[in-house]
Amino acid sequence: MARILIVDDSPSQLLGIKRIVEKLGHEAITAEDGAQGVEVAKREIPDLILMDVVMPNLNGFQATRTISKEDTTKHIPIILVTTKDQDTDKVWGLRQGAKAYVVKPIKEEELVAALKEHLPG
């Protein structure tokens, strides 16, 4: 079982993603914006992070960049999960350190495939 951090400012999105993660048998921990996501990532050291992009305080691109450059968290794979569906957004997200990019509305099978591909072990 993996510990997966879900970072999203939408309670309904958090709940939906958490349900998918837990259905796969993983533990879900949550954060409600990018700044909180960075703090939780540093404190909890999850196995993987699912990161929204459009959030208050620190957006997902900024949070991803911070987490992927920090020595204690740079090994954690980050999958961006966002409504930003332009190719330029995807390229930018991957350049910030994300390993994958899933567009909302989430297709469960697409998220499950990304999780399986990027979960360590």
Does residue 68 sit within a domain? yes
Task: Residue 12: give the domain boundaries.
Answer: 3-99
Residue 111, SS3? helix
CATH of the domain at 71: 3.40.50.2300
pLDDT value of position 32: 97
Does residue 111 sit within a domain? no
Does residue 21 sit within a domain? yes
Is-above-0.95 flag for pTM? yes
Does residue 59 sit within a domain? yes
CA distances from 28 to 3, 18, 67, 84, 98 (A): 6, 6, 18, 23, 19
Does residue 121 sit within a domain? no
pLDDT tens-digit profile, the chain (121 residues): 999 999 999 999 999 999 999 999 999 999 999 999 999 999 999 999 999 999 999 999 999 999 999 999 999 999 999 999 999 999 999 999 999 999 999 999 999 999 999 997 7
Tokens representing residue 25 in the block: 């048998």
pLDDT value of position 120: 79
Does residue 120 sit within a domain? no
Per the structure, how many domains does the chain have? 1
